[in-house]
Chain A
Amino acid sequence: MSKKFTKDHEWISLDGEIATVGITDYAQAQLGDVVFVEVPEAGRQVSKGDDAAVVESVKAASEVYAPVSGEVVEGNGALEGNPALVNEDADESGWFFKMKLADAGELDGLMDEAAYAAYVKELD
């Protein structure tokens, strides 16, 4: 499926049962140089809106929220050694975690690509 987006600038992309979550290119540009990322461990249960990961730039720390509820199946280990991957490739290899959804219907409440683009345009 195509990506869905939250107002907090996470993206989520479902492939079969497993969804991948990251932050948007807009979000990484706002954060600036990412120097530290903490991703959740496999097996952690998260509810929609929970703090799921942490991303820190030189100046500040930000939370990454779970876009929907479910169980984390994998954190992106590559970000520990190379947090700058979030700046370089937020949409693809800079993903934060993968999760098994509790209710795929929750995705319907998120923005599609066009709606997110319009949302970001209003923020600028």
Chain B
Amino acid sequence: MNAPTDILKTTPLHALHVKLGAKMVPFAGYDMPVQYPLGVMKEHVQTREKAGLFDVSHMGQAKLTAHDGDAAVLFEALVPGGITTLREGRMRYTQLTNEQGGILDDLMATRFGDTLWLVVNAACKDDDFAHIAAKLEGRATLDIEQRALLALQGPLAETVLSALIPAAKDLVFMQAVWSDWQGDAVLISRCGYTGEDGYEISIAEDKAVALAEALLAHDDVEPIGLGARDSLRLEAGLCLYGHDIDTDTTSAEADLIWSVPKRRRDAADFPGADVVNAQLSNGMAKQRVGILPEGRAPAREGTEIQSVTGETIGTVTSGGFGPTLGGPLAMGYVPPAYAAADTEIQLIVRGKAMPARIAAMPFVPQNYKKG
């Protein structure tokens, strides 16, 4: 995991991160900022209260075009989400699944005409793109887009971004539009992974630093690293691929069934549909839940979850401290019998059983701009 720095990839903003005083760490094969001089706690609060700028250029972007007809029809066969029903400029969160229903990655898909714009996780992008290209070989073309991706998140994101790109203010949550900034095409999407209102902005690599600097010039914007990105998404109850979801979890077990419309379940026409449907009908061995430790000690990934009678019932998949929540929080998997909110459990932290309870997610209310 700790690859030598000289073989790590860099994003177009790398020099800017260093100039801003970021502490850089290896992440998904990239040398990325984990925090800036402000520190994780203040960066988190900045994003909740004002606006934070994240470099997410390590994520994969690609355009899918069918050789004949609508790319959404082809892509829908690879995911459990409702893709053919997307209207122009609308986006959905979904998962690439295998034949066992295991999650290969989670992603965003946006419709523009008969094409889809896909944004996938950095650590999975090579495998994802190879998987999609192989599954749709001869029927569609997947163009990998070498572009930078910035995320501007927080309650002041609309004010800040619309001053530079006016089209931003006309979007609602999960809507995207191609616009332009200083003569270059930019794709702005009203989405993100912090639980706050905000945008992701896809821009040509050679224009990314200029746009980042223009955004950072605003008094209400600060650069935010991966540390706060993690605490923000955890408070928002959002899954981190490779931790909270992976090929050993299905969309049902991961409590992502809200992203699987009834039409797809009834048609059972996505990879692993039979497994997912059986789990929904007959019950499952485990499901993802939110967890609130009762003390102050954070329970980290890998922490054993026990029933109050000391039986091992599961494992924490993400855990830490929520700066907005003001205390520790976690998510993990337990059998459905223990999954109801307020069920008492215990977490084994450094050999000691710490009382905790199951909690509804998100831990902090989401603040999206719905239409």
Q: Which residues of A contact B (CB under 8 A)?
A: 32-33, 35-36, 38, 54, 56-61, 80, 83
Contact = CB atoms under 8 A, between A and B. Distances in A.
Interface residue SS majority, chain B: mixed
Interface string B303-343: 00000000000000000110100001000000000000000
Contacts of B300: 60-61
Contacts of B40: 32-33, 57-59
Nearest to A81: B296
Contacts, number: 47
A61 to B, nearest CB: 6
A36 B298 CA distance: 8
27 contacts: A32-B35, A32-B39, A32-B40, A32-B41, A32-B227, A33-B42, A35-B41, A35-B298, A35-B321, A36-B297, A36-B298, A36-B321, A36-B328, A38-B297, A38-B350, A54-B350, A56-B297, A56-B298, A58-B41, A58-B44, A58-B227, A58-B231, A58-B320, A58-B321, A58-B323, A59-B320, A61-B298
Contact of B41 (A33, A38, A54): A33
Contact of A59 (B230, B328, B350): B230
Quick one: which of A35, A38, A61, A83 has the most chain B CB within 10 A?
Answer: A35
Contacts of A56: 297-298, 321
A44 to B, nearest CB: 14
A108 B227 CA distance: 39
A22 B142 CA distance: 56
Contacts of A35: 41, 296, 298, 321, 328
A36 B321 CA distance: 9
Nearest to A38: B297
